[in-house]
Chains A and B, each alone.
Chain A
Amino acid sequence: MEKNFILAGFGGQGILLAGTILANSFMLDGKNVTWYPCYGAEMRGGTVNCEIVVSDTEVSSVHKQNTDYALVLNQQSFDRFVERVKSGGTIVANSTLVKETKPRTDINYVFAPMGKIANDLGTNKVTNVVSLGVLSSVCNIISELSLIKAVEKVLGEKKKDLLPLNINALKLGSGLYSAV
């Protein structure tokens, strides 16, 4: 089994951090995983993305042309990565900023108002964590428990006070889709 994920959005939306949490959760599940960012002249307000590959054996290519899952938090990322989802794959989009269109018929679409949910929690800074919750509910190889542990690990001692907020964000994200 080898699956890959592309996470994309505006610089500042916490895409690379979301990827780090996801990769950590796979590591905690005992899987082989790689995290690879787009790097270079990216800046706040521009687009940013990272790719996570998870595998039972050693990860082959770290950077692939097509993806099983795309998690996109803004319109530009949707437009760019909808083309790179494998036939039969899934794109998960933040409908707070992405129009609910379906330009291809051979992939699955999940639209969830991640930005709005985060705002309702008091800060849109947790949009990325809400999005991971949504992703975990549509992808059965992501364990919510490991995601929570990964969030705890990434926040560390210094930002421990933010843990309840983030766990809440994760749970709202994952509960949302299964409730739909």
Chain B
Amino acid sequence: MENGKLKMENSDKILIKGNYAIAQAAVNAGCQCYFGYPITPQTEIGEYLSGKMQELGRGYVCAESELAAINMVMGAVSTGVKAMTSSSSCAVALMQEALSYAASDELPVVLVNVMRTGPGLGYIYPAQGDYNQSVYGGGNGDYKIIVIAPSNVQECIDYTYRAFYLAQKYRNPVILLADGLLGQMMEPANFGEYPYPEVDVSSWALSGAKGRDARAIYSCAREEAKQIQHIIDLHKKFEVIAENETSYEEFGVSDADIILTAFGSMTRNIKAAMKVLREKGIKAGCFRPITLNPFPNNRIEELSKLGKDFIVVEMNMGQMFKDVKYAVNGNSKVELVNRPCGEWLSVEEIVSSVEKVMEKNYAASI
């Protein structure tokens, strides 16, 4: 991947659906157990693994519910093996309690959310309405989840690899936040090999106490001072994660007056819109957080201090918009171009919305 362009000369590329790509990437990453319950638009992940895991002698359970699935993942990863579940929006909502526990227990749970429309049962159309659910969580207490958002099928593979690595490296749950569009579409992609080293889990994994003292993993400390320290430790850990793992990509920002910002599959549309705007003489750039948590606050703040304005483009009612606004902190203008769900905002729609915003914000100064 270079500037988001797929290099096509590699004959190892195959045309593959995002869901299958995620599933096979999990296999390559060494995922030993999959637990899940079917839901559109991510069912192909479970479907693929139901055969593949059996073939490889690994674990596959079609759980009785999403609640059971995520708790099974917690059980599996506590023994030191890699395990995952996958689901979609309204069913990921059912997993929130477990995610809070997993974060407190410091369990390397990997959860794939292929977003559909909400709230409530919603519908199977793609949407980006689970930004808040993923980044801020629906579970109780002070906890943080690493959230990574791919924008094409190649990244579905690359970031599945990364999700498994980061989960074990930091003993922290990771959400891979895709959407129905990515899950269902096919695109040429290359699996390569799992690029990360194996993480040593022997110091904490519940791998059987033969020859050593017994261990336990708790989500609570049962003493005030210890509980306080536990929460502080979790947050210190996330500061390290933010320091080391925050990632984003940007295009044409150095001379830009206005920066289009999007996450996930909307990234491709803002990149195309940027080109059209530049042809029209508007100095537009693109900024795309790859990790939504930790969020690239510092870079956005830097850019805003250079006087660059932001237009956040997303398929929800303005969820990442608030985080961009927080990072910009009044240094420059932040506007929202959005639609709650359904057909993705087209390049033409983004261009015309940006032009309207430019007219509104800059008419006085022109």
Contacts and interface: CB of A to CB of B under 8 A. Distances in A.
A65 B184 contact: no
Given A32-B8, A39-B40, A62 B181 contact: yes
Interface stretch (A22-30, A72-80, A98-106, A166-174): A22-30
Given A20-B15, A27-B13, A62-B185, A57 B344 contact: no
B6 interface: yes
B184 A36 contact: yes
A34 B187 contact: yes
Nearest to A25: B15
B319 interface: no
Given A30-B8, A30-B9, A31-B8, A39 B124 contact: yes
Nearest to A31: B8
A24 B14 CA distance: 8
A60 B269 contact: yes
Query: SS class of chain A's interface: helix, strand, loop or mixed?
Result: loop
A58 interface: yes
Nearest to A65: B346
Interface string A17-52: 000100110010011111111011000000000000
Nearest to B4: A58
A62 B151 CA distance: 11
A34 B272 CA distance: 15
Contact of B347 (A24, A57, A61): A61
Contact of A61 (B4, B180, B344): B344
A107 interface: no
Contacts of A39: 40-41, 124, 180, 184
How large, as a class, is the contact surface on chain A?
20 to 34
Residue among B13, B180, B187 with most chain A CB within 10 A? B187
A60 B184 contact: no
B268 A40 contact: no
A61 B268 contact: yes
Interface in B142-181: 152, 180-181
A34 to B, nearest CB: 5
A63 interface: yes
A59 interface: yes
A34 B156 CA distance: 14
A62 B182 CA distance: 9
B78 interface: no
A3 interface: no
Contacts, number: 70
A63 B187 CA distance: 13
B188 interface: yes
Nearest to A154: B15
B288 interface: no
B346 A33 contact: no
Interface string B256-295: 0000000001001101110000000000000000000000
Contact of A60 (B40, B181, B188, B268): B268
Contact of A62 (B9, B40, B268): B268
B269 A61 contact: yes
B181 A36 contact: yes
Contacts of B185: 34-36, 62
A114 B124 CA distance: 33
A154 B188 CA distance: 14
A58 B5 contact: yes
A64 interface: yes
Interface string B289-308: 00000000000000000000
A40 B265 contact: no
Contacts of B239: none
A27 B15 contact: yes
A80 B197 CA distance: 52
Contacts of B265: 62
B198 to A, nearest CB: 33
B188 A32 contact: yes
A39 B186 CA distance: 13
A62 B343 CA distance: 10
A62 B346 CA distance: 9
Contacts of B184: 36-37, 39
A30 B8 CA distance: 5
A31 B15 CA distance: 12
B15 A23 contact: yes
Nearest to B43: A39
Contact of A33 (B4, B188, B269): B188
23 contacts: A20-B15, A20-B186, A24-B15, A30-B8, A33-B188, A34-B186, A35-B15, A35-B187, A36-B184, A39-B184, A40-B40, A57-B5, A58-B5, A58-B6, A59-B268, A60-B269, A60-B272, A61-B344, A61-B346, A61-B347, A62-B344, A63-B344, A64-B346
Given A32-B8, A36-B185, A58-B271, 13 more contacts: A20-B15, A23-B186, A24-B15, A27-B13, A27-B188, A31-B8, A35-B187, A58-B5, A58-B268, A60-B269, A61-B268, A62-B185, A65-B343
